[in-house]
Structures are given as C-alpha cells and as structure tokens.
Amino acid sequence: MTWTIGADIGGTFADFVALKSPSGRLVTLKVLTTPDDPGKDVGEGLRRLAGEGLDAGAVTRFVHGTTVGVNTVIQRRGAAIALFTTAGFTDILELARLRMPNPYSLFCERPPPLVPRENVFGVRERMTAEGETLLAPEAEDVAQAVTAARAAGCVGIVVSFLHAWRNPAHERAVAAMIASLDSAIAVFCASAVWPAIREYERTSTAVLNAYVHPRIAAYLERVEIELKQAGIAAPLLLTTSAGGTMSAAQGRRDCVGMLLSGTASGVVGAGVVARAAGVHAALTLDMGGTSADVALLRDGTPSYSAGIEIGLYPLATTTVAVASSGQGGGSIAWVDGQGVLQVGPHSAGSTPGPACFGRGGEAFTVTDAALLCGILGHGKLGFGAIAPHRARAEQAARPIAERLALSLPTLAEGVLNVAISGMLIPIEQLLARAGAHASELTLIPFGGAGPMLAGLLAETAGMRRVLVPASPGTLCALGALTAAIRRDAMRTVLLPLEPESWPAMLAALDQLAAEAGQTVAAMAGPGETRIRRVADVRYRGQSFEIAVPLDENTDLAALATAFHAEHERQFGHAEAGAPLQVVSLRVSATRPAPELSLPRRQGVAHAPKTLGETPVRLGGRTLQARLMARADLDPGAHFEGPAIVVQPDCTVLVPPGWRAVIDELGNIDMERP
C-alpha cells in the first residue's frame, strides 16, 4: 500500500489530493492559505490528511505547486537585486520594447522595472554577434560594480551581456569574479537561465528569476521542514510552468520555471478529465480567488508558448499557453472616475477575503455578489472552512449600490456580468491566435469559483457544452499528482534552413536532448525518457517565428512544408518559395508520472433527489432553482436548469435552458440545445 499526494497553494485556498494505491481511494480537501506565513498551510493540510487515514510513512510521491513566485512579482515583494549589463546598455529595462501595455489609453503607464535604474551597472566588455571577444571584462571594473551593489543593499546580481546567447564566456567570467569577491551574493547569468536571442526578453527572464529566488528558496525550505515533521520521506517535487515537475533543488535555482506552476497544474488536471471523458477540443477555465485563467486542450494535451508576461514583465521560458484576466472569486468591485462599474484586478484574497467570509474584509467581491444572487449560501465553502454571511455582503455592497442608484440584487448581478465580460477578452484573444471557434469547444471549469460562473460564461461566449469535473475545486492538485517530470532546454542558432546548415541543427538537437535527458534522469532515476523537439522557424526578415514540431524522421523538406502549412493556418497565407530561417531549437525531456485511472460507475437514466428550491437572480429576474447535493447525484441522473449543485469544494450553477446529466466519471455534463 502506497500513497501519492498532489498539493496546490492558491491565493485563497490550499488544495490537496491524496491517492491510495492499489485501492484507488482518492482523498480531497481544502484549507485556507496563510500568505503571511507561507508553508504553514502545507503543514495544516498534511495534518488534515492524516486525520483522513493517510499513512505518512507510505507516501512515495509528493508534488507541489504554488503561487508564491508569481504573487511575489505581482505584489512587488521580491529581493533587492542588481543588474550588470554591457556598458552602454544600462537602460535595457527602462527602454524595454518601447510599447505601452494599452495602446488605446492616453493614461496608460508601464510598470517600473523590478531593478531600479540606480542598481543597474555597466561593465566594460564586448562580444561580437558571432561570439568573438572584442573586449574582455576586467576584475577592477567588476569589483567597483560589486561594491556599489552591496552598498545599495542588493542580495543578488544578474549578469546579462550583449550576445551572451552566442557565447556566454564573459558572463561566466564575471560571475566567477563576483563569487570570489562576495560568496554570499547569489549570482545569475542570463545565458544560463534562458539562452535566447533578444536582449530585453532574456534579461527580463533572468531578473524575474533572481527577484523571486530568496522567497522561493525560503518557502521550499519551510515546506521540506513540514514534510519531515509530518513523517514524509518522499522528496519534494515541484510543478513547473510547462506542466511538468522538477526537484526542489532544481527549483531553488530555476525559479522562473515554477512561476506559473499552479496554473499549469490545473490545465494538466483538466487534460486528464478531458481524455477520460473523450473530449477532443476543450477550453479550460481556472477561476480561483484572484484570477481567471483559460487554456486550450487538444485531445487532452495543452498548447505551449514562450514570451508570456508576468505582471507585464516578459518571461521567455516555455510555458503552458494560458491567458489570464483579473476576475476571480475574490476580485473587488469598484466604480471608476467615470462612474462605471469595474471588477478586479485587485483581490481580497484569503486575508482578509471577501466580506461574506467574516474575516475582516470590507470590499464587495465576486463571491459576495454570487451570494446575493442566491448562487452561494447553501452551505459552507472550502470543505467547511467558511460559512458565508449574507449580511456582511449586503453591507459591503451598499456604498456601491447607492453611488450607482441600483438595488442590491441588480448590483450583484451586474458585478457577475462585468466579471464575465472581463473573462471574455482573454478567451477571444486565445481563440483568435489558435484559429478556433467557441462553438467547437467544451468548457471545463475548475477552481473554487469556476463552476459557479461557467454556464453563464459559456452562454455569453457561444459555447454549447460545459463539463464540470467531479472535484473541480481540487483539480489543480490532481494535475500536480499526474504531472510528468520534465526538463526544457533551448539554444538560439540563427541558421538558414538549407542543406548546408542541416547537420549543425541535428547536432544541436542531439546535444540539447542529451542535456535535458540527463537532467530528467538525475531527478527521476533510470527509466524511459520521452524527447520532444521543436524548431522556431520564420521567413527570413520576419520579426517573430512559429514553433514547428520535429520527429525522428523529419528532414529539411518536411520541416519547411510543416512551417508553410502552419503559417497558412495561423495567418491565412504562405510563401512556399521564400527563404526560411531557424531562430532557435528547443527540446523537452519528460518522464511520465504513474498512470491515474479515474473511477467509473455505470448508471441508468433517472431523476435525481433534490433538496428543494431556492430563489436565484439571473437575467434580470428572480427564478426558482432546484437545489441539489453533488453527493446525491449518481451516474445517469439528469435534470434541467435553473439548478444549483452544492459540494464541499465548490458550487455549480446550471443556467436556465441548459440540460445536465451525470456521466460515468461523476462529471456534470451540461449542454444547451
């Protein structure tokens, strides 16, 4: 008998899933997060699992995802760090790409760099674009910069030089000089974090890594202590932004690799549900306390991308392709200077939380609005952690309602509608980039708040089917449990796609595959490792490239054909005779996690048991909705909306006009004619 545990620490709740083998027993639970004492929530969750029968000594795998890194960036609570650049390029973070976040706003401002200008120091050195030394860095120059960085209170230094992606020798030499001068300062070479062309993106990624490093390192140490105190000997594994896992030792250095760990885990978990249910094309919706994140799945597999932004700072590493908006369950409703109702991106989080939580929160949030609309309020939330107070939600809503001259029910429904409108923006952008249409997709909602608004969102977006997993509130933790060990490697090559360059590309791919495979073997031990190869290709002269997968049989002609076809699919045109250029080569090595088979139960069609009816505010009027408990819904049960299904980890709304059936996996399969 063995146990495996998946954990996901979000903005409001920490989710846990524990699987007992070979019986297949699955234990799920939620505890409130402790943002002022990160890691304490992990210990509380383990103690609760022990009360559910967990044998700590039999735990063989503990996989953990967290929002500590991304929240550190968003809240700007990272370390004081210095940046060493090539002399003459010290304004790289200030200049960025000379683009505003919102080109349609005259009042839009870019966020200040994570490294203030006074902590950026130029080092006299120069490498050519071909990787040849023009001017080598000198120890005296570096010593002066280190002295200034220490005087500014910096605890870490990022070294990012021009053309280091081609030849990192100068960065490595300066890093060695810094270490000899002060071994207490953490040093990060940008070429080691992510050796990609484009100085700003490479530098920004390395800065993000150094900025979150102290908090992540301290957090991982605390989690390892909690595991030891709980009697768990299994090594700590971390979910990565690319939907895989890595060791805690790797995570301490490769911090950017886990910035979106919780988000990616949810997409992986949704992929498990999609494959089991036979859903070929899906849109996932992860709605927690702070944000709503969406991603596309094809046959249960997510898309990947590079160059997403964290708090408007570019992250060049490979990640699951996720689009986000600042509308979560804890997102705060407010009125702007023009008297327009807005929702988010500021969130009440878990501390103090929505007003209805009774934990000191005074702001009116999406959760409070759902309570006043009658969707919530039929039991405790978060596995009994919170009993919502309607009176507190009403008190928080009154100032806004009076300012807008609206009744409380009208305001509450308006807040939900505004939140849904905010979610539509990233959805439409994601679908446009993928060339997909909403009507082709099944929406798979999860997170504590996803199933609450999924039906209304699907209706607004033009989707006709929603599949609510059996335990949506803990799906991110389930994804962590099923995530493969993964290592990504890349190299910028800038080679023409011609016969003379092909042997060099194959050699580079083989070297990258060996490096990534060795890292996976070091983390997971001996075993079969899967290798995935990708080439970033563009027409010569283009500014950006398209990722084209390669297999062992792909030759030069096949790669060119695949690129033209993908360019045609994405942009509606291709130019078969134009010269092509391979910008970068990327490899991912993965070791699959143990198979997880979701339990199935055959059912027969029947009407489900109901707990009665409850008033709910939808479409500008009050309707009577059927109230049901998820535990009473057996496979084969079918019903029509409006209906509200309550369960320990979330609440599901089935809107009017939708039909729902419980499938053999326990999912609520909702469709509208």
Domain boundaries, the chain: 2-73+216-258, 77-211, 487-591, 612-671
Whole-number Å distance between alpha carbons of 142 and 171:
11
pLDDT for the residue 473: 82
pLDDT for the residue 478: 86
CA distances to 187, 207, 588 from 349, in Å: 33, 26, 35
In this prediction, residue 596 has a pLDDT band, given cuts at 50, 70 and 90, of confident
Q: Any idea which of 89-93, 246-250, 267-271, 399-403 has the lowest mean pLDDT?
A: 246-250
Encoded tokens for 438: 């909403």
Do 2-73+216-258 and 487-591 fold alike per CATH?
Answer: no
pLDDT for the residue 649: 82
* Whether the Cβ atoms of residue 390 and residue 409 lie closer than 8 Å to each other: no
Asked whether the predicted pLDDT for residue 185 surpasses 90, the reply is: yes
pLDDT for the residue 398: 96
pLDDT for the residue 481: 84
Mean pLDDT calculated for residue range 588-600: 82
pLDDT for the residue 359: 83
Asked whether the predicted pLDDT for residue 36 surpasses 70, the reply is: yes
Tell me if the bond preceding 642 is cis, omega within 30° of 0. yes
Whole-number Å distance between alpha carbons of 282 and 294:
10
Asked whether the predicted pLDDT for residue 45 surpasses 80, the reply is: yes
Q: pLDDT per residue over 433-442, tens digit each?
A: 787 889 999 9
Asked whether the predicted pLDDT for residue 13 surpasses 90, the reply is: no
pLDDT for the residue 151: 95
Q: Which fold has domain 2-73+216-258?
A: Nucleotidyltransferase; domain 5 (3.30.420)
Whole-number Å distance between alpha carbons of 144 and 178:
11
Torsion of CA 44, 48, 49, 53, to 10 degrees: 150
Pairing type for strands 442-446 and 465-468 reads: parallel
Helix axes 40-51, 199-229, angle to 10 degrees: 40
DSSP string, 48-91: HHHHTT--GGGEEEEEEEESHHHHHHHTT----EEEEEETT-TT
Mean pLDDT calculated for residue range 581-609: 88
Mean pLDDT calculated for residue range 442-456: 93
Q: Any idea which of 165-179, 293-307, 400-414, 578-592 has the lowest mean pLDDT?
A: 293-307
Domain 487-591, CATH? 3.30.1490
For 405, list phi and psi in degrees, rounded to 5. Answer: 55, 50
With DSSP H G I counted as helix, E B as strand and the rest as coil, what are the percentages for the chain, rounded to 5? Answer: 35, 30, 35
pLDDT for the residue 486: 87
Whole-number Å distance between alpha carbons of 513 and 532:
8
pLDDT for the residue 384: 63
Asked whether the predicted pLDDT for residue 35 surpasses 80, the reply is: no
Whole-number Å distance between alpha carbons of 68 and 75:
10
Asked whether the predicted pLDDT for residue 406 surpasses 90, the reply is: yes
**Total-model pTM:** 0.85
In this prediction, residue 492 has a pLDDT band, given cuts at 50, 70 and 90, of very high
pLDDT for the residue 70: 80
Q: How far is CA 53 from the centre of its chain?
A: 31
